[in-house]
Structure 1
Amino acid sequence: MYSPIKRFLIGRPLKSSELGEQKLNKLKALAILSSDALSSVAYGPEQVLLVLMTISAVAFWFSIPIAIGVLFLLAALILSYRQIIYAYPHGGGAYVVSKENLGINPGLIAGGSLLVDYILTVAVSVSAGTDAITSALPFLHSYNVLIAILLVIIITILSLRGITESASILAYPVYLFVIALVILLGAGIVKIVTGDIPSNLHSPIGTPVAGISLFLLMRAFASGCSALTGVEAISNAIPSFKDPAPKNAAKTLTIMGILLAILFSGVIFLAYYYGVSPKENETIVSQLASQTFGRSYLYYFIQGTTALILILAANTGYSAFPLLAFNLAKDNYIARMFSIRGDRLGYSNGIIFLGAMSILLILAFQGNTEKLIPLYAVGVFIPFTLSQTGMLVKWIREKPSGWQIKLTINLVGALISLLVLLIFLITKFTQVWPVFIFLPLIVTWFHQIKKHYESVGEQLRIKDCAESLPIMGNVMIIPVAGITHVVENSLEYAKSLGVDQIIAVNVSFEREDERKFEEKWQKWQPEIRLVTLHSSYRSIIHPLTKFIDTIEHKASEMNYRVTVMIPQFIPKKNWHNILHNQSSLLIRAYLLYKRNVIVTTVPYHLKK
Structure 2
Amino acid sequence: MSDERDPTSAADSGRTSLERREERRGQRPGDRVVRIVRPPEFKRTTGGFVATDAALESETGVGRAWTNIRRALIGRRLATAEEHSERVSKKIGLAIFASDNISSSAYATEEAMRILALAGVGAVAALTLPLTVAIVVVLAIVVVSYVQVIKAYPSGGGSYVVAKENLGVVPGLVAGSALLVDYFLTVSVSVAAGVAAITSAFPDLHPGRVGIAVGLVVLLTIGNLRGIREAGNIFAAPTYLYVLAIFGLIAMGLWRAVSGDLPSAPVPIQSFLPAGTQPLTLLLLLRAFASGSVALTGTEAVANGVQAFKKPEARNAQIVLVVMGSLFGTIFLSISFLATSIGIQPDLSETETVLSLLARSLVGTSWYFYLVQFSTALLLILAANTAFNGFPRLASIMAVDRFMPRQFAQRGDRLAFSTGIVALALVSSFLIVAYDASVTGLIPLYTVGVFIAFTLSQGGMVRKWLRDRSRGWQLGTVINGAGAIATGVVAIVVGISKFQVGAWMVIAILPVLVAMLYGINRHYRSIEDILLIATTVPVRVRPTVPRIVVPISRIDRASLRALSIAGGLGGEVHAVHISYDADGAKAFKRRWQSVVGETIALDTIISPYRALMPPLLKYLDAIDRDGPGRPVIVVLAEFVPRHWWEALLHNQTALLLKLRLFVRRNTAVLDVPYHLDDPEPLDAEGERPGR
Report the TM-score when normalising by structure 2.
0.83
Which of 311, 333, 337 is equivalent to 1:265? 333
Show the 5 A alignment for 1:402-551: 402-430=472-500, 431-464=502-535, 473-506=545-578, 508-509=579-580, 512-527=583-598, 528-535=600-607, 539-551=611-623
Once residues 275 and 535 of structure 1 are traced to their aligned partners in structure 2, the CA distance between those partners, rounded to angstroms, is 86
Change (3 A) 1:141 1:210: closer
Q: Name the one with the larger helix percent.
A: 1
Once residues 150 and 550 of structure 1 are traced to their aligned partners in structure 2, the CA distance between those partners, rounded to angstroms, is 58
2:682 corresponds to: none
RMSD: 2.4
Change (3 A) 1:130 1:366: same
2:43 corresponds to: none
Change (3 A) 1:192 1:4: same
Shift of 1:277: 2.0
Once residues 86 and 217 of structure 1 are traced to their aligned partners in structure 2, the CA distance between those partners, rounded to angstroms, is 36
1:8 corresponds to: 72
Once residues 342 and 643 of structure 2 are traced to their aligned partners in structure 1, the CA distance between those partners, rounded to angstroms, is 66
Q: What code does the residue aligned with 1:598 have? A: A
Change (3 A) 1:469 1:231: closer
2:625 corresponds to: 553
Shift of 1:553: 3.0
SS in 2 for 1:547: helix
Moved more, 108-117 or 232-241: 108-117
Which of 246, 256, 259 is equivalent to 1:181? 246
Once residues 9 and 469 of structure 1 are traced to their aligned partners in structure 2, the CA distance between those partners, rounded to angstroms, is 47
1:19 corresponds to: 83
Shift of 1:498: 2.6
Q: What code does the residue aligned with 2:219 have? A: I
Change (3 A) 1:321 1:477: same
Once residues 302 and 544 of structure 2 are traced to their aligned partners in structure 1, the CA distance between those partners, rounded to angstroms, is 60
Q: What code does the residue aligned with 1:371 have? A: G
Q: Are 1:201 and 1:274, in contact at CA under 8 Å, matched by a contact in 2?
A: no
Q: Are 1:381 and 1:418, in contact at CA under 8 Å, matched by a contact in 2?
A: yes
Corresponding residue pairs, total: 601
Once residues 617 and 462 of structure 2 are traced to their aligned partners in structure 1, the CA distance between those partners, rounded to angstroms, is 61
Q: What code does the residue aligned with 1:215 have? A: L
Once residues 367 and 519 of structure 2 are traced to their aligned partners in structure 1, the CA distance between those partners, rounded to angstroms, is 56
Q: Are 1:80 and 1:410, in contact at CA under 8 Å, matched by a contact in 2?
A: yes
Once residues 456 and 45 of structure 1 are traced to their aligned partners in structure 2, the CA distance between those partners, rounded to angstroms, is 51
Structure 1 runs not aligned, ≥5 long: none
Change (3 A) 1:45 1:535: farther
Once residues 78 and 467 of structure 1 are traced to their aligned partners in structure 2, the CA distance between those partners, rounded to angstroms, is 54
Task: State whether structure 2 residue 290 is matched by structure 1 residue 218.
Answer: no
Once residues 416 and 535 of structure 1 are traced to their aligned partners in structure 2, the CA distance between those partners, rounded to angstroms, is 75
Which of 575, 593, 598 is equivalent to 2:668? 598
SS in 2 for 1:560: coil
1:338 corresponds to: 408
Structure 2 runs not aligned, ≥5 long: 1-64, 268-274, 679-691
Shift of 1:468: 9.2
2:306 corresponds to: 238
Change (3 A) 1:526 1:380: same
Change (3 A) 1:576 1:165: farther
Change (3 A) 1:296 1:531: farther
2:138 corresponds to: 73
SS in 2 for 1:434: helix
Task: State whether structure 2 residue 182 is matched by structure 1 residue 109.
Answer: no
SS in 2 for 1:54: helix
Change (3 A) 1:555 1:277: farther
Task: State whether structure 2 residue 326 is matched by structure 1 residue 254.
Answer: no
Q: Which has the higher contact order (CA 8 A, sep 6+)?
A: 1
Q: Are 1:477 and 1:505, in contact at CA under 8 Å, matched by a contact in 2?
A: no
Change (3 A) 1:330 1:312: same
Shift of 1:26: 0.2
Change (3 A) 1:418 1:512: same
SS in 1 for 2:386: helix
SS in 2 for 1:504: strand
SS in 1 for 2:577: strand
Once residues 441 and 278 of structure 2 are traced to their aligned partners in structure 1, the CA distance between those partners, rounded to angstroms, is 28
Once residues 625 and 504 of structure 2 are traced to their aligned partners in structure 1, the CA distance between those partners, rounded to angstroms, is 54
Once residues 304 and 578 of structure 1 are traced to their aligned partners in structure 2, the CA distance between those partners, rounded to angstroms, is 50
Shift of 1:443: 1.4
Identity %: 42
